[in-house]
Amino acid sequence: MFYVITYDIPSDKRRKKIANLLEGYGRRVQYSVFECSLSPKQYRELQQRLQQRIEPQEDSIRFYPLTQHVLHQIEAWGNPPPFEHQGSTII
């Protein structure tokens, strides 16, 4: 499954840890936005690891799952270049 993951974390230290963790699972496309193609197992693992690092009273992380049906409708302008997902390019 393809996910767009966004976050808003006021603590510089926690924000850096979250960004570093997400870089291991996907590609940063904006400062607080990642695109990730994850198996169900990877998704559960990522969520568990993120839960250990956030302060729920202060931080916000959002997961937007995108199905194959809508992937071809995504438009990406500028850098980074479009994400390639299972042989198709998101444009």
Task: Tell me the sheet residues that pair with 28.
Answer: 34
Read off the pTM.
Answer: 0.83
Q: Is residue 81 over pLDDT 90? A: no
pLDDT surpassing 90 at residue 23? yes
pLDDT averaged over every residue in the chain: 88
**CATH number of the domain where residue 12 is located:** 3.30.70.240
Measured CA distances, 40 to 10, 15, 24, 32 (Å): 29, 24, 16, 23
Which residue range forms the structural domain that includes residue 18? 2-89
Is the predicted pLDDT of residue 69 greater than 90, yes or no?
no
By CB atoms closer than 10 A (0-12, 13-18, 19+), residue 63 is middle
Q: How many domains does the chain have?
A: 1
pLDDT digits (tens, 9 = 90+) for 27-59: 999 999 999 999 999 999 999 999 999 999 999
Give the pLDDT score at 58: 96
